[in-house]
Structure 1
């Protein structure tokens, strides 16, 4: 983890008199930059080998407090419910560290988003993973994509052979969404060749690609 010099951020004519940095001085989290081998600077994550017994929603404090050693935190939620993992990473670190393992945040990639915004969402997801990993949390990368235009960067930063996680929530009854998922899933398996895919929600027939093993976890809606 490379730390950027604080004096290069938000400098003003009076900044030399600050006793501490303002609360919102680093909204882009430039203070912690991580190694990257891709053109977008998306942080690289090492291969994950953790297969959680359960996936616990980040927002469920009771479940997190009662987590077992084989559980992991997930972020398959509305984005606003876990935005603080990016804006206040120390807070996200605290909750994930209490469990010990976490999936990376699943920041949404909408097909209507400009590609640069989609790239930013992927960057944020990997950055949060690298941040957690640097502080001792076991990390499993979550993968998401939109159209084929997103494939070049959607899988960036994930090591070949890693365990990865995906979600099928919200696509089962949407034909176009199922097609986009199937195409992207096949592209992911071809690019990453994951050792195991953790599927949050219904494991669709399209989740069977070659000999890639799959483990499904019930969504919080199905579990009710």
Structure 2
């Protein structure tokens, strides 16, 4: 446990060989080769993993890596809920990492109050994932998402997987600081007929 909030530590790891990411609920449709698992889905679609993480351990091992679960954090949520969501992200990520699964830490923030804890439990200069999907269309969400790009200053990432759009107006200043890798949302793939 590390930091003021006693967050479990997700250690940085070298992550290679991922050509695509599969949503957790679609994991059975893929053999795992050259793929990772993400949790950029409705929280209720993966609540079973909280109650019984060992049930999915062997299943997730066939994938190159797993992005730690993306428990919702919004700027207008009570701060205790934001802390809990961050804590559960680290608990699940550390659990799977300690059981032989490569884990890419998901970093999620709300408003500036969340900066006190949302970067805890993560080593600097690693590989991370963030989600812009659903965060940048509405002006209020976009404002807080852009402010949270503080993430680059705090963690100094080497590689960042971005689930969703990467507009130049938000990410342009960081393209030279880290290797930014887009993850196309599953719904976008469906809309363009790729699935």
- The TM-score normalised by the length of structure 1 is 0.79
Q: In the alignment, what sits opposite 1:200?
A: 163
User: How big is each residue's C-alpha offset from its partner over 1:62-96, in whole Å with a ceiling of 9 and x where there is no partner?
Assistant: 433x221x311100000000111111111232331
Structure-2 separation of matches of 1:114 and 1:92: 30
CA apart distance, 1:115: 1.1
Q: Is 1:139 the counterpart of 2:103 in the alignment?
A: yes
Q: In the alignment, what sits opposite 1:166?
A: 130
Matched residue count? 186
CA apart distance, 1:45: 1.4
SS at 2:22's partner residue?
strand
User: How big is each residue's C-alpha offset from its partner over 1:153-186, in whole Å with a ceiling of 9 and x where there is no partner?
Assistant: 011111110110011111232111111111101x
Bigger RCO (CA 8 Å, 6+ sep)? 2
Q: In the alignment, what sits opposite 2:89?
A: 125
**Contact 2:24–2:38 at 8 Å: present in 1 too?**
yes
Q: In the alignment, what sits opposite 2:184?
A: 218
Distance 1:209 1:91, change over 3 A: farther
1:170-189 to structure 2, matched below 5 A, reads: 170-185=134-149, 187-189=150-152
Q: In the alignment, what sits opposite 1:102?
A: 66
The counterpart of 2:115, out of the listed 151, 163, 179, is 151
The counterpart of 1:67, out of the listed 32, 36, 43, is 32
Higher helix share: 2
SS at 1:222's partner residue?
helix
Structure-2 separation of matches of 1:218 and 1:190: 25
- Rg bigger for which structure? 1
Over the aligned positions, Cα root-mean-square deviation in angstroms equals 1.4
Structure 1 gaps, min length 5: 1-35
**Contact 2:75–2:144 at 8 Å: present in 1 too?**
no
**Contact 2:76–2:110 at 8 Å: present in 1 too?**
no
**Contact 2:32–2:64 at 8 Å: present in 1 too?**
no
Structure 2 gaps, min length 5: 191-195
- The TM-score normalised by the length of structure 2 is 0.90
